Each structure stands twice: as structure tokens, then as C-alpha cells.
Structure 1
Amino acid sequence: MDRVAKLHDDEVEIDTSLVERLVAAQFPQWAGLAVRVVRASGTDNVTFRLGDELSVRLPRTESTQGQVEKDLIWMPRLAPHLPLPIPEPLELGRPGEGYPFSWGVYRWLPGEPLDVEKVDAVAVAGQLAEFVRYLRDVDPTGAPVPSGDPFERGTPLTPRDEMFREALDELREYFDVGRVLASWEESLAADTFEGPARWIHGDLMSGNVMVADGKLSAIIDFGTARAADPAGDVMPAWWLFHGDSRNAYRQALSVDENTWLRARGWALSLTMIAIPYYRDRNPDAISGGQEYVADLLSD
């Protein structure tokens, strides 16, 4: 039985046995299909393969539930306008078998998470930028919008300032505080977005950017998708790319200087604020954060 390791203190127990019971009880047409956990599952949801053609996604916590409902509305509307496959939700599962949240059955999308060391990174940067451009061009009428939560992507940096400085102070023995603050304050000075809001994915990290045969094959996990500041999808310049591929991504999106600085500030703040939370759970949080911040500040 595959039991999923917990990433959050308030996370529910999830394992293959639970998924088998949920599927058998609610979707008997798929009962008996092999269930196996996807080891690259994200921090908000756990994904399982269901047979060869399906997948099951279950929220880890109460605060991350509701994604399937959102996907059922928006994925069919976005998909026809995009150059790559995106999640295709098939069924909405109900709470049951001791599991308290709604969950979903999806079409399985083949591919592996992006590893820029194994592909032509400049070419992939261009492919991802093309996807972002197409997504931005979709009519945002009625789209989800930021709620005011300072952790929502595509929102202003200023509400994160206090959290950022507290985290940096806690981590001052590991970072060049003056240099980090100089970069952060440069981004704060560019923290003005006058619209119009555009569709953003908001979480184009390697686990959500799928690759097959050296090319992008799909984009998954639209949990942070909304109409917001396009800087939210400039962040992959630092999350995924380096050097020539970073420049290629910026040029393909025609990113102006203020948008570039806002995106860099978001990438920096996400890292600095997250390290204190994850360092007790992940022994590599400090060293990984140091390497990432050094690369970001070198830009």
C-alpha cells in the first residue's frame, strides 16, 4: 500500500487503498483498474494513475479543495484556444470512505516533468512562451480573479513586504541580506500594474510543465490560474531557465522592465518566505534556496 508522505501539518491521510475504495464506490465502471501513486505529486494535491488512461487527484488539505470544480468549468473553455494539452476533468468525486473532500478523475496526460538539463532549453523556453502568449489572449471575461490573499500569484508585491523581511531576518546567517534587500526593493519600486488583467497559469514550475521526446507535451495543474498581472507567468524565467534560455523566454514574451522586476520579486519572495516553513521538513531547503537565490540575483 502506497501511503503518501505528508507535506503539511493539517494534511489528511491518503494512500492507494483509499483511492481504490473511492473509485469502486463512486465509479464502478473503473473499479479494478490498477492504482499507483505519482511520485511527482504537488504540494496541494496528490495524483494517482488509474489504469493506463486515467488519473485521480485528491486535495491534501481543506484549504486546497475545490480545484476539480474549477477545472470542470474552465478547462473545457481554455483548451480549444491553447497550443498544448491541458487537464481534462471527467468526473467529480464526493467525500467518502473517510476522505472529507471532493476529488476528481481526469484523462491521463503523458510526459515527464521538465528537466532543462535533458532538453534543448532555448527551444523549450520558446515553446513555453508560446503557450503563455496563447493563454494571455483568451478572453478573461468571468475568469477567477485574485481574492486579496498575498500568496495569490499575479498580485502586488507590497502586501508581502513584511513577511519577506521577517523571513530574511530569520535566515540572515545564510544570505547576503544587503544584496537580497536591494533586489527586493528594486522590485517593490516597479510594483505597479495598470492592466488589463490577463489569464495566467501562475504555477509554471517543472512539475507542471510536461515533456515528451524533448518537447513540451502538456501543461497541468491550473490551481492558480486566474485573470491577473501577466508578471505571474514571467516567473518561469527563474524557476526553469538560466542564461540563454532565460533570455529567450523573456524575448519571446516581449517583457518590459517593470514586469520583469515584478516577476523577479515574486520569484524571490516565494523562495524566501517558503524556506522557514519547509526547512524542518526538507533538509535541502536551505542549500537549495541559497543556490536558487544566487542565480536569481545574478540576473
Structure 2
Amino acid sequence: MTGPVAGPRHPKIEVGVDAELARALLREQHPDLADLPLHHRVHGWDNVTWRLGEELALRFPVRELSAPLIEREQVWLGHLASLLPVPVPVPVRRGTPSGAAPYPWPWSVVPWLPGTMLASVPVEERRACADTLAETLAALHVPAPPDAPVNPFRGVPPATRDDVVAARLTADLPHADVLRAAWADALAAPARTAAPVWVHGDPHPANLLAHDGRLSGLLDFGDLCSGDPASDLATAWMSFDAVGRARFVARTQELRAHDDATWRRARGWAAAMVPTLLAHPDEYPLLAAVGRHTAAQLAAA
């Protein structure tokens, strides 16, 4: 399993988790794991991941805003894993806040999923993953229970995010006119009226794993919620070129038959993600590359 990037920390990180702190928490709460090697630290937007031995990983929130996202994975991911055709990092143990270590939030021990981030795979080679990704998201996009989490940032009508997104779609972005037009079209598209479904929330190509030409894992369910699947379908532009996207869309339509309005909203969500992906290019160059790719794909479509 890999996360978005290794190396520099996100500038909004509130609590860093170094090897000393990670091992202290293990000794306190899971002492049978405390002597396994810690290596391959990965910094994401909301979490830091340490590989633990060969088969496990530790997943720590690094800011207060992301702490509930770990709890969301702990509560729901075991249930959802049975629906999906690819592995997901279901927590195998739970960590709790510690005053002794100290560390303020829940954390998880998860399996380490082998594979290469799709964002690191040449775009032409990603095409082989298009069918499997379509099948995985279609399997996830089933009606969610009434107590499923909600997310004000994902799975919602585009209009609820217009004030934020419109302000971010500035002229200095690549293909800015195209991005603004895509978002405007998403706003104009009819709203979803069907029952809310499970939504991953962040299936960009740095949260997808590939192995031997197939999707081999789906990571980071912190944004999991119920709502409109259009925000997930934005990965069609984020992950693929025109050939791969056509395969992804065709297989998705075979399985879920979304209306045209859903795809218009999906395209708008792809545009909305570009400024976020480009926000910290020095700290997260791979995500910035995803942002530039997404803008170029929207301009070419």
C-alpha cells in the first residue's frame, strides 16, 4: 500500500508522527507488534502512514480535522470490503489517543497492500485498469444505510460547493476557462433525485494501486459518505487518457447506466479538484501532476 506522496510534510499538519512516537504507541497499546521494523513513511493530506514489517501499516491522523476520518474507516470499511472486487485496507486493530506517548487521536493498524500507485504508472498503461476500476466503483455505489456518514465536500450537489470552488478556479490555473466552463455545466445539470449511494470520496489515481495491469487496491476511505456518485466518477478525467476514459465510462454504463446529468456533474467535480491538487506542488509533486493531467484531459475532451 502506498499513499499520495513520500517526503515533505503538508503545511497544515498539526502533529507529526516520527518513528519514536509510532513505536511508543505500539509499545503502549499493541506490544506484540512493537518490535517489527518501521519504514517507508508516507505523508498524505490528512494522515501519515508507516509501514510496519512486511504485512502491516500504521495510519495516523496528523490534524484534528482528519481524526474523524480514521474513525469512519474503522466503523465502516469492514462491511464495505465484502462488496468490492479489490482489496482495501480494513483496519485490523485500533489505536486510541494517548496521554503518555503523547498522541491526541484514534489511529489504525491496517494491512499493507502491494502495488504501485496508479498516478505513478504511465497513462497509456493505466488503460488496463479502467474496467476493474469501473467495476469496483459500481460495486461500491449501492444504496447506503440511513446512518451512513455524510460529507459536506463529497457526494453533494455542486451548488453547495459553488462559493468555494468558484473562488478557487482562478485565471492562473492551466486551462482555466475550460475548468470554469465544466464547473458551470455541472451547476446547470439536473440534480440527482435517486437514493444516496456509498461514495468513496477520493478515488484519484494516488489512492489507486495497480499490479500486473489490473487495479489491485483502493485506498483512503476517510472521505467515505453517502450521496451522489458523480464526485467519484470524476476519476475518469483524473486517472485516464481519452482511451482509458472511454473504457471506464463504457463499463460503468454497463453496470450502472448513469444519466447524462451524472456525467456532467462528474466532469465538473474533476475541474473542481484541479486547484486542490495544485495547491502544494513543492510538497506534493505527484498530486500536482495529477492536477495538470486532469486539466489537460478536460481541455481535450
Same topology, TM > 0.5: yes
Residue number among 144, 147, 156 corresponding to 1:140 in the alignment: 144
Cα drift, residue 233 of structure 1: 1.9
Distance in 2 of aligned mates of 1:75 and 1:179: 36
In the aligned structure 2, how far is the partner of 1:55 from the partner of 1:242?
32
Question: Structure 2 vs 1, CA of residues 36 and 175 (structure 1 numbering), >3 Å: closer, same or farther?
Answer: closer
Which residue number corresponds to residue 201 of structure 2? 202
Deviation at 1:161, TM superposition (A): 2.0
C-alpha distance 240-14 of structure 1, shift in aligned 2 (>3 A): same
Q: Is the 8 A contact 1:203 1:224 kept in 2?
A: yes
Aligned-residue RMSD, C-alpha: 2.6
CA offsets 1:23-57 (integer angstroms, 9 cap, x no match): 11211111211011333x42111111111121100
Distance in structure 2 (CA, Å) of the matches to 1:212 and 1:291: 21
Match of 2:79 in 1: 77
How much has 1:65 moved relative to structure 2? 0.3
For structure 2, the residue ranges without an aligned partner over 5 or more in a row are 1-5
The number of aligned residues is 289
Q: Which residue of 2 aligns with 1:92?
A: 94
* CA offset digits 1:205-248 (Å, max 9, x no partner): 22221122222222121111222101122111011011110011
**Residues 177 and 43 (structure 1 numbering): CA distance in 2 closer, same or farther, change over 3 Å?**
closer
The one-letter code sitting in structure 1 at the alignment partner of 2:133 is L
Q: How far off its partner does 1:181 sit?
A: 2.8
Q: Conserved in 1, the CA contact under 8 Å of 2:93 and 2:109?
A: yes
Match of 2:67 among 61, 65, 68: 65
- 1:94-243 alignment, distance < 5 Å: 94-96=96-98, 97-114=101-118, 115-117=120-122, 120-137=125-142, 139-147=143-151, 149=152, 152-168=153-169, 171-175=170-174, 177-243=176-242
The residue type paired with residue 34 of structure 2 is A
Q: How far is 1:272 from its partner?
A: 2.8
Query: For the residues of structure 1 that align with 2:54 and 2:282, how far apart are their CA atoms?
Result: 36
Partner of 2:3: none
CA distance in 2, matches of 1:261, 1:19: 44
Deviation at 1:86, TM superposition (A): 1.3
Does the 8 Å CA contact 2:123/2:241 hold for their aligned counterparts? no
For the structure 1 residues 291 and 251, does the alpha-carbon distance in structure 2 shift closer, same or farther, using more than 3 Å as the test? closer
Note if contact 1:157-1:191 (Cα within 8 Å) is conserved in structure 2: no
Q: Secondary structure at the match of 2:81?
A: helix
Distance 1:285 1:204 in 2: 12
Given that 1:154 and 1:230 are in contact with CA atoms closer than 8 Å, whether structure 2 keeps it comes out as yes
Deviations 1:236-273 (A, max 9, x none): 10110111100111111114321111011111112235
Question: What residue identity is the alignment partner of 2:161?
Answer: R
Q: Does 1:11 align with 2:10?
A: no
- Aligned partner of residue 244 in structure 1, secondary structure: helix
Aligned-pair identity (%): 33
**What's the TM-score once normalised by structure 2's chain length?**
0.86
The residue type equivalent to 2:209 in the other structure is M
TM-score by length of 1: 0.86
Alpha-carbon contact 2:87-2:218 (below 8 Å) kept: yes
The answer to whether the 8 A contact 2:123-2:240 is kept is: no
| Contact 1:158/1:191, CA 8 A, preserved across alignment | no
- How far apart in 2 are the matches of 1:60 and 1:133? 31
